[in-house]
Structure 1
Amino acid sequence: MELTTVWFIAIAFLWTSYFFLEGFDFGVGMLLPVLGRGNVERRVVINTIGPVWDANEVWFIVAGAAIFAAFPEWYATLFSGFYLPLLAILLALIVRGVAFEYRGKRDDARWRSRWDKAIFWGSLVPAFLWGVVFANIVRGVPLDADHEFAGTLGDLFSPYALLGGLTTMILFVLHGAVFLALKTSGDIRERARLVAGIAAIGAVAAGGSFLLITQVEHGEPVTWLTAAGAAAGLVLAAVAIRRGREGWAFIGTGAAIVLAVATLFVALFPDVLPSTLVEAHSLTTDNASSSPYTLKIMTWTAAVFTPIVLVYQGWTYWVFRKRIGTDQIPRPKNEPVR
């Protein structure tokens, strides 16, 4: 197997890991004002991802760095043509990170309320725009002979791209609701299960439509299997959450995300950014890649450090695996629970 193909698969793995892990972070953030009734409950919601959200975000950094190093032409065209959506994502992630750190710095309800809104919007904006970005990557964008983006901002918000954004947003809400049902106890857990049941309906409708259109217009024979598997994962999650089996529901939403991302990358290969103007202008794994020597060094580096990262992050989740509830949140005297 050529190293360009190896690194295309590696980048697909990095993005899949990012969406699987950061997906429930985004969902938890979007559900904060819905499931957190009062400061104590909102602290419980935030604490479910408090030990892990920043580590989950590292996958995005590594995925971007991998594209830069392995396929610099792809990186240059992507980050110039998609500049405004990617800038909005970056700013939202910064605001959300600051909100997690600063929310508890002052014992003031209005102060906390402002940062809670920052967490909500800092989660919703990336959850929607990532779907828009990847829908455009698969569908293709106007590229000229120099592989430069020749379109406008409006070209990035086609109906197909907006459907992709809606799909990721609803899917991450479902993923986050299932994660909260798995990680909390008491009233929050019950409300999370109720929200997950509702979100599952929207995820099946939006996700099924998006994957069907993707398969018909851009798919390969093998992606019928991955798309069907993603749909089956959503159905499994919907059935499991109604039966109170949060573990199986989380497996279902996780499988849906993994297989949906796999569908997009398999449909994309061997292109990395198709051109809608002239097919010969498309960026591929061959014409967008670094030198073989660079790819060889990257491969050895990844082979050494990737297992270490996986073991460390797995250990982190094992340490913080138990459920939490309002009774575990210390609070000042006379402060109500709700």
Structure 2
Amino acid sequence: MSLQEFWFVLIGVLFTGYFVLEGFDFGVGMLMPALGKGSDARRRVVLNTIGPVWDANEVWLLTAAGAMFAAFPEWYASLFSGFYLALLLLLVALILRICAIEYRGKINDPRWRARCDIGIGIGSWIPAIAWGWVFANVVHGVPLNEKKQFAGTVWDLFGPYALLGGLVTGLLFALHGAMFLVLKTDGEVRDDARRTARLLLVPATVAVGAFGLWTQLAYGTEWTWIPLALAVLGLATAVAADLGHRDGWAFTGTTVTVAAATALLFGALFPNVLPSSLDSAFDLTIHNASSTPYTLKVMSWAAVLVTPVVLVYQGWTYWVFRKRITVEQIPAPVGLPLGPVKD
């Protein structure tokens, strides 16, 4: 395996980790208004399931973007310039979500918490849909000219394949989040999460199947049938396990589906990193978009040394916070009152 191939695979692994871990974070935020309806304690149960881990999950995106910038600067430059409006909207949504989660409990006022809940919802729905739309466009190809610059308009990015990609990640992340809530909660919240998951199973399965088959037939190779089959198997496992109340296996099923779908996209993309829809001669590949061999070699040593430490730390975090959460465990809200404090 060449260094260019190694870093393409590593970036694919980083995005897979991000979509698997942040995917259920987005799903929890998307479902929070419905599953937390009628009670602030219920909303806090939903939010507390991701409380100890959501910020660490976002590190996968920072690492993936940093690796893309260092290993394939041409890919990074063309992607972020061509998708700057979409990625700016996605970044604003992520910032809104971060602020809403962090500041929700700072003021003991129902109106304040309601506004923060809206921010959490917006900051979860937009990225969940936008990521599928962006990656579907990357696989399909964008209008790159001979200078490897984006030569189209934002409307060129709204094809049927890209829109289906956004629908797939929206539904899949919502289902992934529902399965996570079934695994991490108990009582009435868990019952409602299970009902929501069962409502999402059919549309998510249809959307994933249609998008996966389209991707395979239009852009895939012989070996990418494997991740497509694994994605379908993961959804089948989730259905069977949920019906049997095997919560861990149900969540494992959606995890496999998210990971396999990401592998399918990267497998269909290789050896390109950003195809041109104008002329294949203008494609960005792992070879013409990469950094120098020396840069890739230094980065490889850093990745080999640091990555195991990060994985062990994050695995330990999930193990520590593995218990279920119930409404009865939620204490009364505390925080500074809204407005001036009287003596």
> TM-score surpassing 0.5?
yes
Task: Tell me if the contact between 1:184 and 1:324 (Cα under 8 Å) persists in the aligned partners.
Answer: yes
| Aligned pairs for 1:225-264 within 5 A | 225-264=226-265
Deviation digits for residues 111-151 of structure 1, max 9, x if unmatched? 11111010001000000000000000101001000000111
State whether structure 2 residue 84 is matched by structure 1 residue 75.
no
Is the alpha carbon distance of 1:59 and 1:332 closer, same or farther for their aligned partners in structure 2, counting shifts above 3 Å? Answer: closer
**Shift, 1:331, TM fit:** 1.1
Partner residue in 1 for 2:338: none
**Shift, 1:242, TM fit:** 2.1
Deviation digits for residues 145-166 of structure 1, max 9, x if unmatched? 0000111101111111010000
Task: Tell me if the contact between 2:105 and 2:333 (Cα under 8 Å) persists in the aligned partners.
Answer: no
CA distance in structure 1 between the partners assigned to 2:165 and 2:239 by the alignment: 20
Partner residue in 1 for 2:26: 26
State whether structure 2 residue 33 is matched by structure 1 residue 10.
no
Partner residue in 1 for 2:125: 124
Deviation digits for residues 235-257 of structure 1, max 9, x if unmatched? 21122112211101011000001
Structure 2 counterpart of 1:15, which letter?
Answer: F
| Aligned pairs for 1:43-58 within 5 A | 43-58=44-59
**Shift, 1:198, TM fit:** 1.1
Partner residue in 2 for 1:59: 60
Is the alpha carbon distance of 1:141 and 1:332 closer, same or farther for their aligned partners in structure 2, counting shifts above 3 Å? Answer: closer
Which has the larger displacement, 186-195 or 225-234?
225-234
Partner residue in 2 for 1:148: 149
Structure 1 counterpart of 2:11, which letter?
Answer: I
CA distance in structure 1 between the partners assigned to 2:313 and 2:6 by the alignment: 24
Deviation digits for residues 174-223 of structure 1, max 9, x if unmatched? 00000000000000001101111111111101111000111110010111
CA distance in structure 2 between the partners assigned to 1:238 and 1:137 by the alignment: 30
Task: Tell me if the contact between 1:29 and 1:123 (Cα under 8 Å) persists in the aligned partners.
Answer: yes
Structure 2 counterpart of 1:24, which letter?
Answer: F
Partner residue in 1 for 2:321: 320
The 3-state SS of whatever aligns with 1:143 is: coil
Instruction: Could you tell me which runs of 5 or more consecutive residues in structure 2 were left unpaired when the two chains were aligned.
Output: 335-343
The 3-state SS of whatever aligns with 2:273 is: strand
| Aligned pairs for 1:89-100 within 5 A | 89-100=90-101
Is the alpha carbon distance of 1:282 and 1:36 closer, same or farther for their aligned partners in structure 2, counting shifts above 3 Å? Answer: same
Instruction: Could you tell me which runs of 5 or more consecutive residues in structure 1 were left unpaired when the two chains were aligned.
Output: 334-338
Partner residue in 1 for 2:138: 137
Task: Tell me if the contact between 1:89 and 1:125 (Cα under 8 Å) persists in the aligned partners.
Answer: yes
Structure 2 counterpart of 1:25, which letter?
Answer: D
Task: Tell me if the contact between 1:92 and 1:126 (Cα under 8 Å) persists in the aligned partners.
Answer: yes
Task: Tell me if the contact between 2:108 and 2:333 (Cα under 8 Å) persists in the aligned partners.
Answer: no
Deviation digits for residues 64-112 of structure 1, max 9, x if unmatched? 0000000000000000001011111111000000000111111111111
Structure 2 counterpart of 1:161, which letter?
Answer: A
CA distance in structure 1 between the partners assigned to 2:162 and 2:240 by the alignment: 29
State whether structure 2 residue 224 is matched by structure 1 residue 223.
yes
Which has the larger displacement, 99-108 or 41-50?
99-108
State whether structure 2 residue 253 is matched by structure 1 residue 290.
no
Partner residue in 2 for 1:107: 108
Task: Tell me if the contact between 1:193 and 1:242 (Cα under 8 Å) persists in the aligned partners.
Answer: no
Task: Tell me if the contact between 1:128 and 1:166 (Cα under 8 Å) persists in the aligned partners.
Answer: yes
Partner residue in 2 for 1:35: 35
Is the alpha carbon distance of 1:169 and 1:332 closer, same or farther for their aligned partners in structure 2, counting shifts above 3 Å? Answer: closer
Deviation digits for residues 244-291 of structure 1, max 9, x if unmatched? 111010110000011110011111100000001100100000000000
TM-score, length-scaled by structure 2: 0.96
Partner residue in 2 for 1:299: 300
Q: Which runs of 4+ in 1 moved over 6 A?
A: none
State whether structure 2 residue 160 is matched by structure 1 residue 167.
no
Partner residue in 1 for 2:341: none
**Shift, 1:332, TM fit:** 6.1
TM-score, length-scaled by structure 1: 0.97
Number of residue pairs the alignment of both structures matches? 333
CA distance in structure 2 between the partners assigned to 1:44 and 1:79 by the alignment: 37
**Shift, 1:226, TM fit:** 1.0
Structure 2 counterpart of 1:198, which letter?
Answer: L
